[in-house]
Structure 1
């Protein structure tokens, strides 16, 4: 098979498209003929050899990637034969191997792809979608809400905008540059604003006409997040799930002291990791199933930017320079 392999930690150019041995499924596993492989921002951190929510690989070369969708073409010993030939999507967990024409996964992790979804859409929802579902556990949006979504043209931001609109809320979507702003407006945001403009917060404040935001979905941190939080009213929520705004690899989250929160009359909560899993009852599959169901029903529509598998380095570079819109997916 062909795969993307990383022989040495470093820049995106270290991702090499080459031929390697076909993997074989072990007991309780399946092999998947990959039709779509998800690219996550975390992949760029691991490629550099840096520690993130997951440890960097200890053995090189490695095949990156932890989200795949395709057709089961081989079974390991003891695996349910009903999986053979089925279209499936799976998050591989901590094990890499997704950037390839063939990938091995534990059968217990598999989901059948719902009718109406293609493989690229399914792979977007198994990772990015499940995170969006996890974030939304921490707020119950309704018609009285005004939500601010920084990075609204990204994979998660796109889904948060759609969910907030489905709930009847008013949505302010922030994005960098005219093309992304146009995409956010087309996605349904009531107001789409370019956060590269120095006066963007004033534009939002003037547009709201005295109303105050009720929730900020913060994945950027830094000065953009602080300006967004300044638009919150009493009782507002600052929900943190990233801090990429001032450098993908070295950004910092926006934090507040208890005294600052009390003075503002708001809450601020980080929602990634164990806290998100506990909220889902300790079962990440709950979020995956909910995500896939939302997409299959048409309530959520993932935005996808496709790259050929051989151009994985270009996909990483585009992510790192904020040149992408939606979920980045590799197509073998």
Structure 2
């Protein structure tokens, strides 16, 4: 089968389009003929050998990727026959192997794809969608909320804007450049602002008037994240799930002293990892199931940017340079 292999940690160009033996499913597993494979910003860090929530592969070469959708074409011993031929989507968990024409995973990880979703959309919801709904567990959004969403043209940002608007909240979406700003506006944000332009914060303040924000969904950190947090009203929440900003302090998470938070009357909380799983009742599949259901019902519509499997290096480069909109997906 054709796949992407990483032979040595390093730049995106180290991702090689290669031919490898077809994988075979073991007991309780299935093999999926992959129609779409998700690409995550975390994949770019793992490609460089950086530490993260998943351990770097102990042995190279490896096939990266942990989100796949497609059709079950082979069953392992003891796997229920009902899965054969079904369109499914799965997060592969600790085991990579998604950037390929075929992928193997435990049947317990599978979700059937709703009829009105294509495989790329399903991949977006199994990863980005579940994370979005996990973040929203901490937001307590209502119709009276005022939400600021940095990186609002990204995969998570797109879904956060939609969810908040579905509730009737006021949403300010921040994005870099006119094209991304236009996408945020089309997605329903009340105000879409280019945070690369000087004076953008003043534009947001003028729009909000005497209202402060009730929540900032921060995945950028740095100067942009700090400016957004400065607009929080008393009682506001700063929810952190990344720090990929391209401001003067690129890649820096925001830090606050207890005294500063108390004086402002706001909270700041990281919402990824164990705390998210605990809030979901200890079962991440709960968020996956809910995410797919929200998309099937049309309440959430993932934005997807497709690359051919052979273009995995270009996809990684685009992610790292903030040249993408929505969820990045590889198509074998």
Tell me the TM-score normalized by structure 1.
0.98
Aligned length: 330
Q: How does 1:42-53 map to 2 (within 5 A)?
A: 42-53=42-53
1:36 matched residue in structure 2: 36
1:279 matched residue in structure 2: 279
CA contact (8 A) 1:71 1:87 kept: yes
2:219 matched residue in structure 1: 219
SS in 2 for 1:268: strand
Give 5+ residue unaligned stretches, structure 2: none
**1:52 Cα deviation (Å)?**
1.3
**1:122 Cα deviation (Å)?**
0.2
CA contact (8 A) 1:5 1:15 kept: yes
**1:252 Cα deviation (Å)?**
2.3
For 1:54 and 1:288, locate their aligned partners in 2 and report how far apart those are by CA, in whole Å. Answer: 19
User: Does 2:272 match 1:302?
Assistant: no
For 1:13 and 1:241, locate their aligned partners in 2 and report how far apart those are by CA, in whole Å. Answer: 27
Give 5+ residue unaligned stretches, structure 1: none
For 1:216 and 1:38, locate their aligned partners in 2 and report how far apart those are by CA, in whole Å. Answer: 26
1:173 matched residue in structure 2: 173
Give the RMSD, CA atoms, in angstroms. Answer: 0.9
For 1:224 and 1:61, locate their aligned partners in 2 and report how far apart those are by CA, in whole Å. Answer: 38
For 1:197 and 1:291, locate their aligned partners in 2 and report how far apart those are by CA, in whole Å. Answer: 34
For 2:96 and 2:114, locate their aligned partners in 1 and report how far apart those are by CA, in whole Å. Answer: 24
For 1:18 and 1:309, locate their aligned partners in 2 and report how far apart those are by CA, in whole Å. Answer: 10
For 1:289 and 1:252, locate their aligned partners in 2 and report how far apart those are by CA, in whole Å. Answer: 33
2:71 matched residue in structure 1: 71
SS in 1 for 2:161: helix
SS in 2 for 1:310: helix
1:15 matched residue in structure 2: 15
For 2:7 and 2:268, locate their aligned partners in 1 and report how far apart those are by CA, in whole Å. Answer: 41
CA contact (8 A) 1:8 1:60 kept: yes
2:207 matched residue in structure 1: 207
For 2:150 and 2:53, locate their aligned partners in 1 and report how far apart those are by CA, in whole Å. Answer: 22
CA contact (8 A) 1:246 1:252 kept: no
1:251 matched residue in structure 2: 251
CA contact (8 A) 1:35 1:101 kept: yes
Tell me the alpha carbon deviations over residues 247-282 of structure 1, each in whole angstroms, 9 at most, x when there is no partner: 9xx722112111000110111111000000000000
Runs (4+) of structure 1 exceeding 3 A deviation are none
**1:58 Cα deviation (Å)?**
1.3
User: Does 2:81 match 1:81?
Assistant: yes
**1:118 Cα deviation (Å)?**
0.5
**1:246 Cα deviation (Å)?**
4.2
